[in-house]
Amino acid sequence: MKDKIHPQYYQNAQVVCSCGNTFITGATQPVLRVEVCSACHPFFTGSQRIVDTEGRVERMKRRYGLK
């Protein structure tokens, strides 16, 4: 391997999620900011969450008669 081409590795990098959850992992940056983590992701929590800012889901439900 070539010398001096690899980034610095941080053993105690802190990961900060937008939900407020934090944990420590290894990474090439000292602080990582993420939007979704295992504490708030629907796959891991078992809950379904639809983020709809423009009313698209309600419009589709009205159009196709879904309840």
Strand-strand pairing, 31-34 and 22-27: unpaired
Classify residue 2: in a domain, yes or no.
no
DSSP H or E run through 60: helix 56-64
Classify residue 43: in a domain, yes or no.
yes
CATH number at residue 59: 4.10.80.400
Residue 32: the pLDDT is 95
Q: Which of 48, 50, 42, 47 is nearest to 58 (CA)?
A: 50
Q: Does 9 score more than 90 pLDDT?
A: yes
Q: Does 56 score more than 80 pLDDT?
A: no
27 is in which domain, residue-wise? 10-64
- pTM greater than 0.85: no
- Tell me the average pLDDT across 3-12: 93
Interacting residues of 32 by C-beta distance below 8 A, sequence separation 6+:
13, 14, 15, 16, 25
Classify residue 39: in a domain, yes or no.
yes
Q: Which of 18, 17, 14, 16 is nearest to 30 (CA)?
A: 14
- The number of domains in the chain is 1
